[in-house]
Amino acid sequence: MSTTSATPVFDESALVTAAKSGDMTAFSDLVQHYDRRVFRMAKQITQNDDDAEDVLQETFLKAYTHLADFQGNSKFYTWLVRIAVNEALMKLRKRRSDRTVPLDDPIDTGEDEVVREIAVWDQNPEDTYSREELASILDQAIQSLKPAYRTVFVLRDIEEMSIEETAETLNLSISAVKSRLLRARLQLREKLTRQFKKKGDDAFAYL
């Protein structure tokens, strides 16, 4: 009678506990489980492979160094993302000689009305573009967002973190996260509408 070995279950809590006790293998398992997600998120924010790699390395180095400070009040990944976001934003601040708005500038999070002329998108994008072309167009639109909006969009809509987790990670109020997310989505929709209008399409529904 043959037996099959079950795939080991990823137990974040147990691995964190072991890592805090000095188990390097447990910490390596955490790194292996999350490194691709952290790199992808860092690249979305920094828009640069080398910077994203630096952010990845620094994130896990700081996570290991300050592992004792992790109290378990949130998911380990949420704590890890907070470190990674801070590192990514520091990278952007160092490159702030461009024309982007400084990350320290205040952002209006009031309930003001945002009026935008957005075309009605009727056609299915896959009727006109390949999946790769759509991914490239969307990625360029995301990269064109200001860092404050792009970061919220990446955490909420790409990493699929909850509003509460995003707010905790960025040290923002829930209303501020919702406001930035709304503006990011509106700006993306507007940018995509213009992009497809240029190519002669009547409309497009994606977001």
Task: Write the pLDDT tens digit of every residue in 27-77.
Answer: 989 998 999 999 999 988 888 888 899 899 899 989 988 898 888 888 898
Relative orientation angle of helices 163-170 and 76-94, to the nearest 10 degrees: 50
Residue 186 sits in a domain whose CATH number is: 1.10.10.10
Is residue 148 one of the residues assigned to a domain? yes
Specify the pLDDT at position 170.
Answer: 87
Is residue 138 one of the residues assigned to a domain? yes
3-state secondary structure 82-122: HHHHHHHHHHHHHCCCCCCCCCCCCCCCCCCCCCCCCCCCC
C-alpha dihedral sign at 69, 72, 73, 77: positive
Domain span including residue 193: 125-198
Task: Write the pLDDT tens digit of every residue in 103-116.
Answer: 444 333 333 333 33
Listed residues 50, 71, 94: the one ending a domain:
94
Say yes or no: 90 and 17 in one domain. yes
Residue 25 sits in a domain whose CATH number is: 1.10.1740.10
Least confident of 15-29, 88-102, 130-144: 88-102
**199 neighbors 119 (Cβ within 8 angstroms):** no
Specify the pLDDT at position 5.
Answer: 52
Say yes or no: 22 and 82 in one domain. yes
Listed residues 94, 115, 150: the one ending a domain:
94
The total number of structural domains that make up the chain: 2
Least confident of 123-127, 134-138, 194-198: 123-127
Average pLDDT across the chain, whole number:
76
Say yes or no: 62 and 133 in one domain. no
Is residue 33 one of the residues assigned to a domain? yes
Place of tokens 């573009």: 129
Residue 96 tokens read as 């702030």
Is residue 6 one of the residues assigned to a domain? no
For residue 9, which amino acid is it? V
Is residue 36 one of the residues assigned to a domain? yes
Specify the pLDDT at position 148.
Answer: 87
Task: Write the pLDDT tens digit of every residue in 159-207.
Answer: 888 888 888 888 888 888 888 888 888 888 888 877 766 655 444 444 4
Say yes or no: 16 and 90 in one domain. yes
Is residue 183 one of the residues assigned to a domain? yes
Say yes or no: 44 and 90 in one domain. yes
Say yes or no: 88 and 22 in one domain. yes
Specify the pLDDT at position 105.
Answer: 40
178 vs 163: CA distance, rounded Å: 7
